Amino acid sequence: MDKTAKLRLFFGLEIPQAIKQRLLQIQQPVAGARWQRADQLHLTLAFLGSVDAGRLPVVCDAARNLPVEPFELTVCGIGCFGAPDRPKNLWAGVQPKEDLVRLHCALDQGLAQSGLAGERRRFHPHITLSRFKKGAGPVTELLQSPEQLVVGSFAVDRFALFQSVRGEQGSVYQIIERFTMMDQGKIDSADG
Ligand code: ATP
Ligand code: MG
- Nearest-angstrom CA–CA distance, 156 and 183: 12
- Nearest-angstrom CA–CA distance, 31 and 115: 43
For ligand 1, pick from 7, 80, 122, 171 the residue to mutate: most ligand atoms within 8 Å of CB. Answer: 171
Contacts of 174 (CB under 8 A, 6+ apart): 162, 163, 165
Q: Is 122 in the pocket of ligand 1 (CB under 6 A)?
A: no
Q: Is 120 in the pocket of ligand 1 (CB under 6 A)?
A: no
For ligand 1, pick from 8, 42, 44 the residue to mutate: most ligand atoms within 8 Å of CB. Answer: 44
Give pLDDT, residue 175. 98
Contact 188, 67 (CB under 8 A): no
Per-residue tens of pLDDT for the chain, all 192 residues: 788 899 999 999 999 999 999 999 999 999 999 999 999 999 999 999 999 999 999 999 999 989 999 999 999 999 999 999 999 999 999 999 999 999 999 999 999 999 998 778 899 999 999 999 999 989 999 999 878 899 999 999 999 999 999 988 889 999 999 999 987 766 666 665
CATH superfamily, domain at 6-191: Cyclic phosphodiesterase (3.90.1140.10)
Contact 55, 116 (CB under 8 A): yes
Contact 86, 21 (CB under 8 A): no
Give pLDDT, residue 114. 92
Instruction: Tell which atom from ligand 1 comes closest to the C-alpha of 170.
Output: 3
Q: Measured in angstroms, how far is the CA atom of residue 87 from the centroid of ligand 2?
A: 15
Neighbours of 140 (CB within 10 A): 13
Kind and range of the H or E run holding 102: helix 97-113
Q: Is 164 in the pocket of ligand 1 (CB under 6 A)?
A: yes
- In the chain, what are the domain boundaries? 6-191
Q: Which of 44, 163, 48, 64 is nearest to 116 (CA)?
A: 48
Contacts of 146 (CB under 8 A, 6+ apart): 77, 78, 79, 93
Q: Which amino acid is at 98?
A: E
Neighbours of 187 (CB within 10 A): 12
Give pLDDT, residue 14. 98
Q: Is 126 in the pocket of ligand 1 (CB under 6 A)?
A: no
